[in-house]
Chains A and B, each alone.
Chain A
Amino acid sequence: MSTGYQPSTEEEQIRAAQLATGPGRHAGQLALNVLQHASITSTPWPRAPRSAMAASSLLTGSADTSLEADLRTWLHPHEQPPSTEKAQRFRASLEEALLALQWQELALENGYLPLAGVQEDLYAQLRALLGSAAVQQYVVDRNFQLIWRLVRRVGLTEIITARNPALGDLLSQVPAPRVETGGQVRFASFLSQYRQWREDPAITVFRQISNEQVFFDTPTAILPEELIVFLREGSTRWLHEQSSETSLIVSVEKEMGTQEQARLLQATDGLVGFVQGLSNLRQIFDRLDSAGLALFFTS
């Protein structure tokens, strides 16, 4: 059963504040500051929600050319790790800023937040980040489709296209913004599970040891249920068997130092927690059109 429920104004403000301090928001501030400064000093943009066509006339200038040159070096090619510490810090921050914006799009798409209360802030952030051609290309290369959905939702499409006509084809294929009525509890479950993953120190160790790409590039929403069950039951059964014998711990102590042993045990605990989270999400999103979630995980 779908519902058209909208949260109260007070609830809406609290949710917006929660997301504002949520995953990625703090760490993404560096990139936003750098790009907002460049955007303000060199390229005036209109304030939302002014007419997009009127605004496009202001977008003929280019961003700070020295910064743009740096950004091209720092962000391209995106598959290769940045070569300098400064580049590493910026790219990590940019990733977090883009992550936070993807969360906002998911929140809007699922009716967890109405657009009206956050539109101006999102517009300003996207305007700052996408004022750089290098960042635009990075978003394209990383296939952050939720960012383009958000661009269309807040009314920046025409302005972006005017600034970079090469993006016209891509942006023309972005589906019209929609609100998944009845999705707010589902989104809240997803958000709380994700925060649990980010905050659980055992899962952090597991991700570090296992090379997080293996699991975090997995499209959870379309992961076969059989695999989830196998991972969940297999991992707990294996641990259960190991725990009844001391051989595992003894062999680990012989082969590894205390610190490594601790990391291994932490990672093992993290594995259980992570698979448990996957199982939770698989159940929550079962039989639903979870296209937005799939995009989040595959990007």
Chain B
Amino acid sequence: MPLPAREFLDRTNEHWAYIVRRGRPAANLAFFLHGYTGDYLGTWGRLPQMLHEEADEHPPLDDWDYVFLGYRTRSVECCLDIARRLATKLAKAHAGDSPYRVPYTRFALLGHSLGTLGIRQLLCAQVLHTPANLLEHVHSVTLFGTPVNGSPLAKFGQLIFPISDALRPTSPQLRMLKAWNDSTYQSQRWPAPRILLGLEDQVVGSKFADLINWAGDEPARLETLDHSEMVKPIDWNCAVIDYVKQALAVHSASEV
């Protein structure tokens, strides 16, 4: 039986998994970051398994290694906590520190829901950037179901999860993050975030995209998917895979 071309390192206790080409790691690394009460693997459905088994048969996925990164929702109080978690992993990956097999030079950032706010926070919080020119190493930014104006469901979790405050529509934390994002983008550019929203999304909705624009974002794309479905590929021929492939293409859409 042939060996697959990729290894799978799983750290349940630390909430991450690393899928790496066996013997010949790629130079590029894609990070997947889940959302509110999500799970580092479960959020993405069959995607981790598909990448582990068949990424090398589906260019441009073959040129990338993958990290599925997570956090306990109850452990984060603001988007900065999520951003710092991501920044820590990026710094290690860039340096080639364990568990990474090589120093990575190019990163794709893909987030879902609350995870997208963590990515936005990282992009604009320069103090977290290691190396200092981190943005030059960011190949693409893809935000699935990003809460451009929070979520009406946030109130139900506010008694347990402090981060729920950040997700309340018009919350001070969200307003501050947007202002921070828009201000920093004036002087520090990053690849234009590709926004995917779901027409059936009852969690963050899609209509605010017409009214609220974050600096640098591409125009939002709309698919007939709900909040959960938009990050779970059914097979290799579906919208989710298309967006992942676009994010990892040699020239991302924002570079063309």
Interface residues of chain A, those whose CB is within 8 Å of chain B, are: 1-5, 7-8, 11, 14-15, 18, 21-22, 112, 181-182, 184-186, 188-189, 191-193, 195-196, 199-202, 232-233, 236-237, 239-240, 243-244, 249, 262, 265-266, 268-269, 272-273, 276-277, 279-281, 283-284, 286
Q: Which of B73, B161, B226, B228 has the most CB of A within 10 A?
A: B228
Complex interface: chain B residues within 8 A of A14 (CB): 11
1/0 per residue B195-212: CB within 8 Å of A? 000001011000000000
| Count of interface residues, chain B, beta-carbon cutoff 8 Å | 47
Interface residue SS majority, chain B: loop
Option from A4, A201, A281, A284 in Cβ contact (under 8 Å) with B160: A201
Option from A5, A265, A279, A284 in Cβ contact (under 8 Å) with B159: A265
Across the interface, do B10 and A188 meet the contact criterion of CB distance under 8 Å? yes
Complex interface: chain A residues within 8 A of B11 (CB): 14, 18
Interface residue SS majority, chain A: helix
Across the interface, do B8 and A188 meet the contact criterion of CB distance under 8 Å? yes
Across the interface, do B9 and A237 meet the contact criterion of CB distance under 8 Å? no
Option from A181, A189, A249, A268 in Cβ contact (under 8 Å) with B49: A189
Task: With both chains docked as a complex, state the minimum distance between the C-beta of B20 and any C-beta of chain A, in angstroms.
Answer: 11
Across the interface, do B74 and A201 meet the contact criterion of CB distance under 8 Å? yes
With A185-B48, A279-B228, A280-B45 known to touch, is A200 a contact of B40 (CB < 8 Å)? no
Option from B12, B13, B54 in Cβ contact (under 8 Å) with A1: B54
Q: Which of B38, B72, B160, B227 has the most CB of A within 10 A?
A: B160
Cα of A112 to Cα of B49 in the assembled complex, Å = 13
Across the interface, do A272 and B3 meet the contact criterion of CB distance under 8 Å? no
With A7-B8, A188-B8, A280-B42 known to touch, is A265 a contact of B3 (CB < 8 Å)? no
B219 is an interface residue with CB less than 8 A from chain A: no
- Residue on B with the closest CB to A249? B155
Across the interface, do B226 and A189 meet the contact criterion of CB distance under 8 Å? no
With A189-B42, A280-B45, A284-B42 known to touch, is A272 a contact of B156 (CB < 8 Å)? yes
- Cross-chain pairs A/B with CB under 8 angstroms, 14 sampled: A5-B3, A14-B11, A189-B39, A189-B41, A193-B41, A240-B203, A243-B155, A249-B155, A272-B153, A272-B156, A276-B37, A276-B228, A279-B228, A286-B46
Complex interface: chain B residues within 8 A of A184 (CB): 8, 10
Cα of A280 to Cα of B157 in the assembled complex, Å = 20
Option from A3, A281, A284 in Cβ contact (under 8 Å) with B1: A3
